[in-house]
Copies of this chain bind each other. A is one copy, B any other.
Amino acid sequence: MKTIGIGIVGGGYMGKAHAVAMSSVGAIFNTALRPRLEMVAATSLESAERYRDAYGFARAAKDWQELVNDPKVEAVVIASTQDTHRPIAEAAFALGKPVLCEKPLAETVEDARAMTAAAEASGVANMVGFNYARTPATQYARQLIAEGVLGEINWFRCEHTEDFLADPETPYSWRCNGRGTGNMGDLAPHPINAAMALMGPIARVNAVCETTIKTRPGGEVTNDDHAQIMCRFENGVMGHIYSSRVATGRKMGYVYEIFGTKGAIRFDQEDQNALWLYQAEGPEAQRGFRKILMGPEHPDYKPFCLGPGHGTGYQDQIIIEAKDFLTAIETGTPVWPTFRDGLAVSEVVEAVFDSSQSGQWVEVKR
């Protein structure tokens, strides 16, 4: 069996998720290429050793440079802070090593552009970690749209709402300062990516970003709490995107609703194993939104379970992502979302910031 040495930079929330995914993806998907947990890097060697021990890596690196340069590390997963994404990715691509980079690709569109150029120059597999779009339900929604089941689409709405900063008494933290850690930097890329995954490129936006809780115990909040975006897709469809970290009560409010001339789709990731589909066919008296439970008939479900309705969860999204990354490496065929797709998200974020400042419609620049 062919194996590949994986190095993961970052051992926190996402680093762990990727380590777990790399541990189990082979058994689940019976992948041609099997990951070996070769090396982990963190902010200190001490942390890296702790992660090595906990997640089962062979070795710990003293810094990301050591990891990237290690000959046994054949592919790199970047799960460290946004400001480190660019140098790590560029170093890995320079050595011809495939990269799976956590979202968002970078804090600025310039960085994202440079990283995309490096990825494409290297010609190796490159991917961005928009895991939420990998649920069987969202993959199936993409398929239904592509097959024309909704007819001509006339409206797209999505949101990503959480409430981790909804309480004004939650103290000031690193999340409260800096463009990359605000709502637009952290949360909004998810629904923007969803919008483009489902509907194609966004042509222009008219948006408002704002800070609703300006002072917290310990400091002034300088980045945005929530944002709304009216958008026009390149295919002419009108849409709306909302994201918030102050949406009291919402925990994983990754929601979309799409209306077309023949049907409609609704999805709420708080019940990620169901997709709601309405079809304008059959007797009027029998029509209604259908709650379709994910099962072996839907994309990437069967390897997890042969029984429908038994459910997949958050960690499984990362496992699907790992499978796709391995497939991209193995086959040499790019798998969505590539760095270029990640760049497209950054370009929309940039336009949103511009529009929020000017109060005008702004074209998304490529």
A16-B27 contact, Cβ under 8 Å, with A228-B240, A285-B297, A288-B292 = yes
Instruction: Please choose the segment from A109-117, A272-280, A329-337 that sits at the chain B interface, where 4 or more of its residues have CB less than 8 A away.
Output: A272-280
Query: Which of B30, B166, B292, B309 interacts with A286 by CB under 8 Å?
Result: B292
Q: Is the CB of A288 within 8 A of B280?
A: no
CB nearest to A280 among chain B residues: B248
CB nearest to A305 among chain B residues: B314
A347 within 8 A of B: no
A251 within 8 A of B: yes
A230 within 8 A of B: yes
Q: Is the CB of B306 within 8 A of A13?
A: yes
A309-B238 contact, Cβ under 8 Å, with A27-B16, A226-B155, A292-B287 = no
A366 → chain B closest CB, angstroms: 21
- Specify how many copies of this chain sit in the oligomer: 4
Q: Is the CB of A261 within 8 A of B24?
A: no
Q: Is the CB of A361 within 8 A of B359?
A: yes
A307-B251 contact, Cβ under 8 Å, with A290-B287, A293-B270 = yes
A246 within 8 A of B: yes
Query: Which of B163, B252, B260, B288 interacts with A311 by CB under 8 Å?
Result: B252
Q: Is the CB of A210 within 8 A of B228?
A: no
Q: How many residues of A contact B (CB 8 A)?
A: 98
B residues near A19, Cβ cutoff 8 Å: 27
Beta-carbon contacts under 8 Å, A237-276 to B: 238, 240, 242, 244, 246-253, 259-264, 269-274
B residues near A196, Cβ cutoff 8 Å: none
CB nearest to A149 among chain B residues: B286
Query: Which of B152, B164, B166 interacts with A259 by CB under 8 Å?
Result: B166
Alpha-carbon distance between A247 and B166 when the two chains are bound, in angstroms: 32
B residues near A316, Cβ cutoff 8 Å: 313, 315-316
Q: Is the CB of A238 within 8 A of B259?
A: no
A81 within 8 A of B: no
Instruction: Please choose the segment from A52-60, A84-92, A119-127 that sits at the chain B interface, where 4 or more of its residues have CB less than 8 A away.
Output: A52-60
Query: Which of B157, B251, B274, B297 interacts with A309 by CB under 8 Å?
Result: B251
Q: Is the CB of B297 within 8 A of A284?
A: yes
Q: Is the CB of B314 within 8 A of A311?
A: yes
Q: Is the CB of B249 within 8 A of A307?
A: no
Q: Is the CB of A312 within 8 A of B310?
A: no
Beta-carbon contacts under 8 Å, A286-305 to B: 286-293, 295, 297-298, 304-305
B residues near A226, Cβ cutoff 8 Å: 154-155, 238
A208 within 8 A of B: yes
Q: Is the CB of A292 within 8 A of B285?
A: yes
Query: Which of B163, B238, B288 interacts with A208 by CB under 8 Å?
Result: B238
Q: Is the CB of B314 within 8 A of A252?
A: no
A314-B315 contact, Cβ under 8 Å, with A56-B34, A277-B288, A307-B162 = no
Beta-carbon contacts under 8 Å, A159-215 to B: 161-164, 166-168, 206, 208, 210, 212-213
**Which residues of A are interface residues toward B (Cβ below 8 A)?**
1, 13, 16-17, 19-20, 23-24, 26-28, 30, 34, 53-56, 140, 150-152, 154-155, 157, 161-164, 166-168, 206, 208, 210, 212-213, 225-226, 228, 230, 238, 240, 242, 244, 246-253, 259-264, 269-274, 277-280, 283-293, 295, 297-298, 304-316, 359-361
In the A-B complex, the 4 residue pairs with the smallest Cβ-Cβ separation, listed nearest first, are: A251-B309, A249-B278, A313-B313, A252-B309
